[in-house]
Structure 1
Amino acid sequence: MPLSPTASGGVRAAAAMTVLGCSTGATAGLTDYPLYGGQTLRYLLAAALLLPLARRGGPLRPRPSGGELARLALLAATGLFAFNVLLIQALRRTDPAAVGSVVGCTPLLLAVLGPLLARRRPQARLLAAAAVVVAGAAVTQGFGPGDPLGFLLALGTLACEAAFSLLAVDLLPRLGPVRVSAYTTALAVPMFGLTGLALQGGRMLRVPTAGEAAALLYLAILLTVVAFLLWYTALGRLGPERAGLFAGLIPVTAALSGAALGTGGLHPGELLGSALVGLGVCAGLTVRQQPSPDGPVAAEHKAAEAAQAPAAR
């Protein structure tokens, strides 16, 4: 029996955020590698995998219009380029727990901005569910010391995290998750590469160690290719406000993966926070979304129903 759009979207969103949460170890393994060079290699490899995947049915059609191309470039500049740069800079000035607590507000931000951008009123039950998820993420992550500039950088990271989803919503019905992922990933390559050449010159690249190469492969293949496709598919089926609830899984899966790898241990606060995140996600998914008749979520639901027909396979 096929899953409903809500159930299949929830599974994909949870899987994407699990991959993202477990990426903390891989990211830590690249702290000594040049930032811009490492990100250039990451997105270059991801684009090399995604672009052929997007072309498997023939030429890249439909081609993005001028407006869509501008939105894709803005998505790459904020959700990929600025997000990674601001995150690294914030972590250099502020305790990771404090940064995680700020970025953990993503569900609440999407629950407010998602419907507003679609000219809908935010639903009170979804806002309440998002608040529970944010509280659980904060309890799981904990709070840490930091300076004012670090806090501002963390706020910028939060804004870029929200832009990664909000800017994609109107692109998904026509271009689809594969093309949106492929185009934005390809556009991010020159952004990181040219910035690295301008700031670091030939020092932006060096031969990675075995550990750094493994981290780059994880970030490129699992996080950028697999998680991007899972997340954008879930975003189209759930909408930004309900999909955003799953961002609360990031600190939970980071804590669980750390305990599984022996780099950290589970504490009562992390268990309590995990329970709160689960409660908020479940409560949010029970809220029936009210998309506009011709909105992107409605179009995605129609596409999902058509995909389940025998002729589509």
Structure 2
Amino acid sequence: MIYNKIKAYLCLMFAMIIVGSSIVFGKIMVESIPVFLSSGLRFAIASVLLFVILLIVEKKLPKLTRKEVTILSLQSFTGVFLFSIFLLYGVQYTKAVESGIITSTTPIVIGILSFLILKEKLTRQVMIGVLFVALGISVINLVNSGEDGIRGNFPMIGNILVMLAVIGEALFTILGKLLSRRLSPLAISAFVTFFGFVFFLPFALYEAMMFDFSQPSINDWGYVLYFAVVVTVIAFYLWYKGVSKVSGSVSGLFTGFLPVSTALLSYVFLNEQLTSIHVVGFMFVVLGICSSSLFNKKV
């Protein structure tokens, strides 16, 4: 029993570490390969891999109902298409470490949108969490303008774009609650990824016609492959394997590894410094996540 829980915790931890790494490597990737082209290639590769794995594991593809197609398409549009666009454009304007801190607020945003859309009860713990998270993000964004050159060209715009990515991811989760349990997590991932590829395809083709494919290095293309295999396929598998063994409140706490991963990798690969402002903002965000998840059994 304890061994299974430890395995689940490790799966959740490594999944969030990988997601944190995607913010750092995404910032590097889009410097050489445009957002739509890199995303189109990423989801094309991931779709093939996921459908192959799905056929191996489940022997056949499930037939989707009209409702399931609608929900999966909306999930893909919000949690794949819009999330990727806002995140990858956002990290071009702000620091990766700030993006990681903001992205870790996803559980709080899910709680707010669940209240607004699904009319779920907004508990006092969630409301306190929202206040802490809002305070943390405000601290990050109210850094004096003298640091803008270090933070990015337009850090406020970048942070707003990353926050919009978080909203897209939260909508993805909420829409998932409308799906029946007939579909396995693997099947959902495969179809959502495929629909994401379809959304990106026309824009990716447009960028491809004007792009010099000889310009990126092997390392640059390696980032695309990393996003397809590690971020899209492996991280998803680890997350759902872990989530199936623990409660929702416990899994929510592991999002705290996301900003830590982003901060450490930003320091190593991007030479970004973790300032006292980031530490204070991060502490408020962690307090918000803990107050809404750890002390709220309904989350």
Q: TM-score range by the shorter chain?
A: 0.7 to 0.9
Deviation (angstroms), 1:72: 0.8
Map of 1:179 onto structure 2: 187
Map of 1:26 onto structure 2: 25
* Farther off after superposition, 36-45 or 243-252: 243-252
- Contact 1:136–1:276 at 8 Å: present in 2 too? yes
Deviation (angstroms), 1:152: 5.8
Deviation >6 Å, runs of 4+: none
Amino acid at match of 1:22: S
Q: TM-score, normalised by structure 2?
A: 0.76
Q: Deviations over 1:9-54 (max 9, x none)?
A: 6654443222111223321221221322211111111112111211
Map of 2:267 onto structure 1: 259
Give the Cα separation in 1 of the matches to 2:225 and 2:82.
21
Match of 1:224 among 223, 232, 235: 232
Deviation (angstroms), 1:159: 2.1
Map of 1:307 onto structure 2: none
Higher relative contact order (CA 8 A, sep 6+): 2
Using a 3 Å threshold, how does the CA distance of structure 1 residues 281 and 82 change in structure 2: closer, same or farther? closer
Report the secondary structure of 1:29's partner residue. helix
Map of 2:203 onto structure 1: 195
Give the Cα separation in 1 of the matches to 2:55 and 2:24.
33
Give the Cα separation in 2 of the matches to 1:27 and 1:289.
34
Q: TM-score, normalised by structure 1?
A: 0.73
Deviation (angstroms), 1:223: 0.8
Q: CA RMSD in A?
A: 3.7
Give the Cα separation in 2 of the matches to 1:48 and 1:23.
20
- Contact 2:26–2:88 at 8 Å: present in 1 too? no
Aligned residues between the structures:
287
Give the Cα separation in 2 of the matches to 1:124 and 1:11.
30
Map of 1:45 onto structure 2: 45
Match of 1:214 among 200, 222, 229: 222
- Contact 1:47–1:186 at 8 Å: present in 2 too? yes
Map of 1:15 onto structure 2: 14
- Contact 1:16–1:230 at 8 Å: present in 2 too? yes
Give the Cα separation in 2 of the matches to 1:277 and 1:40.
32
- Contact 1:101–1:138 at 8 Å: present in 2 too? no
Give ranges in structure 2 of 5+ residues lacking alignment: 149-153
Deviation (angstroms), 1:164: 2.6
Amino acid at match of 1:225: V
* Structural mapping, 1:10-159, within 5 Å: 12-30=11-29, 31-60=31-60, 62-92=62-92, 94-96=93-95, 103-114=103-114, 117-129=117-129, 131-132=131-132, 135=135, 143=143, 146=154, 153-159=161-167
Give the Cα separation in 2 of the matches to 1:91 and 1:281.
23
Q: Deviations over 1:120-167 (max 9, x none)?
A: 312222443454456557667985764886676445323212123222
Give ranges in structure 1 of 5+ residues lacking alignment: 292-313
- Contact 1:165–1:235 at 8 Å: present in 2 too? no
Give the Cα separation in 1 of the matches to 2:42 and 2:155.
30
- Contact 2:90–2:161 at 8 Å: present in 1 too? yes
Give the Cα separation in 2 of the matches to 1:10 and 1:135.
29
Give the Cα separation in 2 of the matches to 1:233 and 1:20.
15
Give the Cα separation in 2 of the matches to 1:244 and 1:133.
14
Give the Cα separation in 2 of the matches to 1:62 and 1:89.
35
| Identity of matched residues, % | 24
- Contact 1:133–1:245 at 8 Å: present in 2 too? no
Using a 3 Å threshold, how does the CA distance of structure 1 residues 69 and 38 change in structure 2: closer, same or farther? same
Deviation (angstroms), 1:184: 0.8
Deviation (angstroms), 1:234: 5.5
Give the Cα separation in 1 of the matches to 2:243 and 2:270.
33
Using a 3 Å threshold, how does the CA distance of structure 1 residues 114 and 2 change in structure 2: closer, same or farther? farther
